[in-house]
Structure formats: structure tokens, C-alpha cells
């Protein structure tokens, strides 16, 4: 009698495990990203990304998904052996996921610094599923005045830590923040 009860309990536990794992798989969608495309947010939730990270897989929720992505790559300078980190403006992609789909962000990877700067001005990033190109609900491109180059070659060399920090934070700021900063500096000078 006890053996029969133990077998039934084991059978029930295995059944529950199988149902739970199947249910998890039904709701799990995966987004694969190449190393030169950075996923900034998924449904306004910040994502982590590292410059030397290989392609990666991210879990997506079922239903409408809003991604903010951008091109970001370390490119060898065309004129010497240095490297430039070139970053585009962000692109918002909104689409609807289906159960058990694997999605892939795709973008041609520039090979030269010139190509990278050109691509960063208006990157073309698409999302695909096993059925092909995914139809976006509201594709939005958010342009900025210029491409962010984190280590521009035209900068004069300096050992001043403050100047380096100022240049870094300037490259991270959006156009509105930059305009506000310039306005404040102008007001300070006129006093």
C-alpha cells in the first residue's frame, strides 16, 4: 500500500514538473542580439550591456514589446592603430511577440571607421522571427544633431582630469541638456 502511494506521489510530481516546464516554455520568447547592437530598454526597463560582449539572448515577455536599441561599436581608426567607440542615437521598436518564438535583431556591421560613422547617423536595425521580418507597430527613429564619438581624434591631448570628465559627460548628454548647459554658462559669463 505504501509503495503504491509513493508511486502515485512520484507520478503526480513528475506530471506537475512537466506541466510547469511546458507552461514556462509557452510564455518564454527569446531575443538574440549581435554584439554591435545594444538593447537599452525592454518595455522601459533598463538592460545591461558590455562593449566586448558577444551576441546574447534576452527573454522577452509575451504581447506588445517596446525595445529601445542603438548601434554601438569599437572601430579601428582608418588612419592609425587607435580605436573609436561610435554610438548611434536610439531607435524605438514596438512589435507583438508570439509564444515560443525566437527573435533576432539584425544590422549590417560596418567594417571601416567611415562606414561606421555613416551607419551611426541613421542605423538600419530590423527584427526577425522564424517567419521572417517582424512587422513593427510604431517604428520611431529619434535623431540627434550628431553621432556620439566617445574618443574623438581631434581632441587635443590633455592630462587635466576635469577636462576629460567634462568631455565624457558632454558626450553622454542629450541635446536638450547640452543646450541648457550652454545657456547657464552664457548667463554666468554675462554676470
pLDDT tens per residue across span 36-83: 999 999 999 998 766 555 567 888 988 889 999 999 998 887 777 788
Rounded CA separation 127/158 (Å): 42
Strand partners, 34: none
pLDDT (0 to 100) of residue 128: 93
What number of other Cβ atoms are within 10 A of residue 146's Cβ?
Answer: 11
In terms of domains, do 75 and 45 share one?
Answer: yes
H or E stretch at 72: strand 63-76
- Domain assignment present for residue 130? The answer is yes
Strand partners, 75: 84
Looking at the structure of the chain, the number of domains it has is: 2
- Listed residue (66, 165, 141, 152) closest to 113, CA to CA: 152
In terms of domains, do 115 and 71 share one?
Answer: yes
- Listed residue (39, 118, 40) closest to 86, CA to CA: 118
List the domain range (segments joined by +) for residue 98: 29-151
In terms of domains, do 49 and 136 share one?
Answer: yes
- Domain assignment present for residue 1? The answer is no
What number of other Cβ atoms are within 10 A of residue 133's Cβ?
Answer: 10
List the grid coordinates of 36: 554591435
pLDDT tens, N- to C-terminus, the chain (191 residues): 555 555 555 444 444 444 444 343 344 589 999 989 999 999 999 987 665 555 678 889 888 899 999 999 988 877 777 888 899 999 999 998 888 889 999 999 998 889 999 999 999 999 999 888 888 876 544 444 445 555 444 444 455 566 666 776 777 788 888 888 887 877 776 66
List the grid coordinates of 121: 547617423
In terms of domains, do 97 and 175 share one?
Answer: no
Q: Give the residue carrying C-alpha cell 572601430.
A: 75
pLDDT (0 to 100) of residue 22: 38
pLDDT (0 to 100) of residue 20: 42
SS3 118: helix
- Domain assignment present for residue 170? The answer is yes
In terms of domains, do 34 and 121 share one?
Answer: yes
Amino acid at each position: 500500500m505504501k509503495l503504491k502511494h509513493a508511486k502515485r506521489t512520484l507520478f503526480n510530481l513528475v506530471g506537475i514538473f512537466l506541466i510547469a516546464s511546458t507552461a514556462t516554455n509557452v510564455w518564454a520568447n527569446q531575443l538574440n542580439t549581435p554584439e554591435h547592437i545594444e538593447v537599452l530598454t525592454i518595455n522601459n526597463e533598463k538592460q545591461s550591456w558590455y562593449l566586448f560582449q558577444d551576441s546574447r539572448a534576452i527573454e522577452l515577455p509575451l504581447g506588445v514589446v517596446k525595445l529601445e536599441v542603438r548601434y554601438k561599436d569599437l572601430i579601428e581608426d582608418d588612419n592609425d592603430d587607435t580605436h573609436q567607440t561610435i554610438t548611434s542615437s536610439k531607435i524605438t521598436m514596438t512589435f507583438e511577440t508570439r509564444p515560443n518564438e525566437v527573435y533576432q535583431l539584425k544590422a549590417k556591421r560596418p567594417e571601416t571607421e567611415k562606414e561606421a560613422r555613416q551607419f551611426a547617423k541613421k542605423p538600419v536595425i530590423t527584427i526577425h522571427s522564424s517567419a521572417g521580418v517582424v512587422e513593427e507597430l510604431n517604428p520611431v527613429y529619434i535623431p540627434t544633431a550628431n553621432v556620439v564619438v566617445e574618443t574623438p581624434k581631434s581632441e587635443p591631448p590633455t592630462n587635466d582630469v576635469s577636462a576629460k570628465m567634462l568631455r565624457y559627460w558632454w558626450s553622454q548628454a542629450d541635446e536638450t541638456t547640452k543646450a541648457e548647459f550652454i545657456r547657464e554658462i552664457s548667463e554666468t559669463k554675462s554676470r
